[in-house]
Amino acid sequence: MIAFSWMATGVGGILGCLIGGIMTQYFHPKYSFLLYSFFGLIVSFNATYLTKASEEDGVEEREGENIEDS
Structural domain boundaries of the chain? 2-51
Angle between helices 39-47 and 29-37 (to 10 degrees): 10
By the 8 A CB rule, do 25 and 33 touch?
A: no
DSSP codes, 38-70: THHHHHHHHHTT--SGGG---TGGGTTS-GGG-
Q: What is the pTM of this model?
A: 0.52
Task: Give the tens place of pLDDT for each residue, 28-51.
Answer: 989 888 888 998 899 899 989 888
Does the pLDDT value for residue 14 go beyond 90? yes
Q: How confident is the model at residue 18 (pLDDT cuts 50, 70, 90)?
A: very high
